[in-house]
C-alpha cells in the first residue's frame, strides 16, 4: 500500500478516502508488527515537541523536588515531558541551558531565578512562566507565586501574640525577590507594634552557615532576642544548634520559627513552628500556567495560600 494510505489509517483520517477493508488490513499489519507511531517525528513536523524545561536553583532540596513532582504530574496528564535543569550556582542564571535544547522545547518554567537569568531565557523567544518572582518586574508571560508575604505576617502575628518584642531575623543571604519579600513584610509588621525591635543576621541556606550566623548574633552585645524568625527550615535547624551551644533552650529561652515545612521540621526536637508551602501544588500551578500560555488562554490568577503550622518551638518569652 502507499505511504499516504497507511498514514491516513494510522492517523485515523481515512474515512471517505480509504476503504474499510484497506483500513482493516493496515490496522492488522500494524498490530502484527507491533508498530507505534513516531511521536517525536510527528511533533517535529507540527513544530511542537511537547517538552518543557524546568529550571530550578538546586536538585538537592526537598522543596524543589516537590515542585518537579507537581509539574511533571500535570505535564503527563497533557502528554508533555519535563526536562529538569539546575542552575549550578543555586540562583540564576543557569549556564546557557538553551544552547543545545532550543529546538527541542515548547516552553520554560523558571523557579526562583535571579533577575539576570530572565534575559537569557527571554533571548530564546520561548514561552516563559516564572515561579517565585516579582510579578511587577517579571519578563515571563505569566508569574506564579506562593503567598509568602502572608506567611510572614502569620509568623509575626503568632510571635507578637505570645508577647515577643525582641526579634532576630535570620535572613537567607541570597539575592532573590522571595527573600526580599520576607524581610520587608517582617519589618513592616513589627514596626507597627510599639516597643518592638528587630536585628538582622544573614546566612547561606545551610545548617552549618546558620549555626555560625545565629551564634554570633545571639551572643552579641545588647539585650538578647527572645524570638528568631528564620527564612528557611534549614536556618531554623542551625539556630537550634547555636542555641544549644550557648546554653539556651528552645522554646523556654528562645522561640524559633522556619518557613517551608520540610521533613526536617518534625525531625528536630522540639518540632518546628513553620509556614507550610505546598511545593507540589506550586509545580502544578506553574505547569498549568505554561499550558494556558501555549494554548492562548489566561492562566489562573492569585497567589497560592500558605499556612502557619504551630508546633513546640514557640512559646511566650521566658524571664529576662
Which range is least confidently modeled, 34-43, 174-183, 285-294?
34-43
Give the pLDDT confidence of 85-131 residue by residue, as tens digits: 766 555 554 555 555 445 578 888 887 654 455 555 544 567 889 89
In the prediction, which pLDDT does 319 show?
Answer: 67
The CATH number of 46-146+279-305 is which of 3.90.1580.10, 3.90.1150.10, 3.40.50.2300, 3.30.470.20? 3.40.50.2300
Q: Is the pLDDT of residue 309 over 90?
A: yes
Which range is least confidently modeled, 22-36, 171-185, 237-251?
22-36
C-alpha cell at 164: 515577643
**Which residues of the chain does CATH 3.40.50.2300 include?**
46-146+279-305, 148-276
In the prediction, which pLDDT does 268 show?
Answer: 96
C-alpha cell at 155: 509568623
Q: What angle do CA 94, 97, 98 make, to 5 degrees?
A: 135
In the prediction, which pLDDT does 176 show?
Answer: 84
Q: Is the pLDDT of residue 290 over 50?
A: yes
Q: Which fold has domain 148-276?
A: Rossmann fold (3.40.50)
Quickly state the pLDDT bin for 30 (edges 50, 70, 90): confident
Whether 283 and 256 have beta carbons less than 8 Å apart is answered as no
Whether 203 and 230 have beta carbons less than 8 Å apart is answered as no
Separation of alpha carbons 212 and 178, rounded Å: 23
Give mean pLDDT, residues 153-160: 98
Q: Is the pLDDT of residue 19 over 80?
A: yes
* Beta-bridge mates of residue 201: 170
* Mean pLDDT of all residues belonging to the chain: 86
Separation of alpha carbons 10 and 38, rounded Å: 11
Give the pLDDT confidence of 242-280 residue by residue, as tens digits: 999 999 999 999 999 999 999 999 999 999 999 999 999
Amino acid at each position: 500500500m502507499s505511504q499516504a494510505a497507511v498514514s491516513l489509517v494510522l492517523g485515523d483520517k481515512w474515512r471517505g478516502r480509504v476503504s474499510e477493508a484497506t483500513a482493516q488490513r493496515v490496522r492488522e499489519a500494524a498490530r502484527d508488527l507491533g508498530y507505534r507511531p513516531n511521536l517525536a517525528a510527528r511533533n517535529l513536523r507540527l513544530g511542537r515537541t511537547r517538552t518543557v524545561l524546568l529550571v530550578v536553583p538546586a536538585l538537592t532540596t526537598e522543596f524543589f523536588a516537590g515542585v518537579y513532582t507537581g509539574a511533571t504530574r500535570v505535564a503527563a496528564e497533557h502528554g508533555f515531558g519535563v526536562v529538569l535543569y539546575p542552575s549550578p550556582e543555586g540562583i540564576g542564571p543557569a549556564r546557557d541551558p538553551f544552547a543545545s535544547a532550543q529546538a527541542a522545547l515548547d516552553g520554560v518554567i523558571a523557579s526562583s531565578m535571579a533577575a539576570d537569568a530572565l534575559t537569557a531565557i527571554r533571548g530564546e523567544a520561548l514561552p516563559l512562566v516564572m515561579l517565585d518572582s516579582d510579578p511587577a518586574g517579571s519578563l515571563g508571560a505569566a508569574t506564579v507565586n506562593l503567598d509568602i508575604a502572608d506567611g510572614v505576617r502569620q509568623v509575626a502575628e503568632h510571635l507578637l501574640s505570645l508577647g515577643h518584642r525582641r526579634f532576630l531575623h535570620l535572613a537567607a543571604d541570597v539575592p532573590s525577590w522571595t527573600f526580599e519579600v520576607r524581610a520587608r513584610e517582617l519589618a513592616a509588621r513589627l514596626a507597627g507594634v510599639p516597643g518592638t525591635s528587630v536585628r538582622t543576621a544573614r546566612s547561606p541556606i545551610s545548617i552549618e552557615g546558620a549555626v555560625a550566623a545565629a551564634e554570633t548574633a545571639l551572643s552579641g552585645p545588647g539585650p538578647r532576642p527572645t524570638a528568631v524568625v528564620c527564612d528557611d527550615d534549614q536556618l531554623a535547624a542551625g539556630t537550634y544548634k547555636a542555641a544549644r551551644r550557648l546554653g539556651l533552650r528552645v522554646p523556654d529561652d528562645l522561640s524559633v520559627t522556619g518557613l517551608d515545612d520540610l521533613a526536617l521540621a518534625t525531625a528536630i526536637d522540639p518540632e518546628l513552628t513553620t509556614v507550610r508551602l505546598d511545593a507540589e501544588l506550586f509545580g502544578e500551578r506553574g505547569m498549568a500556567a505554561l499550558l494556558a500560555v501555549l494554548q492562548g488562554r489566561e492562566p489562573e490568577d492569585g497567589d497560592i495560600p500558605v499556612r502557619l503550622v504551630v508546633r513546640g518551638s514557640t512559646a511566650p518569652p521566658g524571664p529576662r
